[in-house]
Amino acid sequence: MRRKIKLMLGAFLCLNCVFAQHPKLSLDLQEAEWFKEAKFGLFIHWGLYSILGGTYNGHTLPDPSLPQGESWYAEWIQMRLGIPDKEYRALAQQFNPVNFDADQWIKEAKEDGIRYFVITSKHHDGFALWDSQVSDFNSMHTPFKRDILAELVAACKKYGMKYGFYYSHWQDWEDPNGALPYWMPKRSDADFEKYWQGKSLPQVKELLQKFDPDLLWFDTWDEETHITEKRRDELIALVRANSKKCLINGRISFLNPGENIDFLEMHDNQYPDKILSKPWQTPATMTKSWAWHAHDFNWKSSCEMLGYLVNNTSKGGNYLLNIGPKPDGSFPAAAIRRLREMGGWLYANGEAVYGAKPVPLAVGEGIFLTQKEENGNSYLYISISNPSGKIDLPIDAKRIGSCEVLETGQPVPYREVKGATHIELPKEVFPITSLIVLKAKLTGKIPEGGSL
């Protein structure tokens, strides 16, 4: 009997060990509330690739004369333009961004209406922007000799900015066992496991323990990877064991994210056309490249990007807008101008974005609906990107107490037509801006079914 009790006790202790090593994989849903309310984030792609600015050895991306050169993505320049490993690693001795100012970066973001900040702590090239004890291929082993993440985290805390890190957990072109692009020989599973245990997991643990991020942005897409369900859950378990708040995105395993991620990550510049129930976001570029590309002049207008922001908000999602800083650490002037224009619009109209929820009603193209309850009152926000003098909404006009232009307070007339609400905008409204927001005070809350 005593031996049986000892065996049972031993089994119980072993189970405790298992649970201690593998904590609960899901996070409290409340931890994602800030993300759902924030709506607008700033993404940064910056590293050794920024030095090259999209050009190497007389070739500039995209270059169809090279087998893999047909891409604008300057952060992929090592593989797209076939830079030898030794030459690429030598770029670390040129990395000296003398104009980098973490305080200036985050202050700019804060003033432009950004609510959270995400930077490439390590992209596919394997170069880390912090003082990593796992690999010396990092910013401390350059002429710059500074822990960039530490400075940015300090600035984020100073300005009350949520922050997170992009970390390439799958591809790593510097590590001899890290995954490579699809057109190159695939690592064996045993070799990849060496990278997984020797660099990927240890560096993620470093990021968690040293910087306590609010989210981690992992990167895979719709192709076969080495991230099996076992590895996916092993990484999730590592994050949960070291943080009770850190959110995890769906691109930890794009084809099979599972149920324990905290928000879905769309494809690059992908915008869903329907409401999604789980928190989500679109990672988006201002140009075609993510990293600095000196010859990429395909700048989107601030109006176009605001359209993406309100579209995503009306579908329950976020907009993570990217900038590729220059090699010296400064933001391109074109990026700053667009951020400030967007920030100015948000200063006047952010009420329709931050903390706003989608409205399950079918409306015309170029019209985006959000809703919010404040101080016992319900409000409907109508964002209009398609200049039109007339709008029809499938809402009982008797449920609307008032309607005005959000930015100016100008009253907007409305009336009931065939059971719907017909709004005719005053002709002077659209010269204010190309993206107008109307604010309607409702006499009751919009029900789940969406009918008013």
In this prediction, residue 3 carries a pLDDT of: 39
364-367 LR contacts (CB < 8 Å, sep 24+): 364/391, 364/392, 367/391
Report if pTM > 0.85.
yes
Specify the residue for token string 């409340």: 30
Specify the residue for token string 């298992």: 18
In this prediction, residue 427 carries a pLDDT of: 80
Does 381 have pLDDT greater than 50?
yes
**Tokens representing residue 145 in the block:** 């000799």
Specify the residue for token string 């329950």: 316
| Per-residue model confidence as pLDDT tens digits over 158-187 | 999 999 999 999 999 999 999 999 999 999
In this prediction, residue 1 carries a pLDDT of: 39
| Per-residue model confidence as pLDDT tens digits over 353-368 | 999 999 999 998 899 9
User: Using 50, 70 and 90 to split pLDDT, how confident is the model at 432?
Assistant: low
How far CA 262 is from CA of 217, 245, 246, 257, 323, in Å, comes to 11, 10, 9, 10, 24
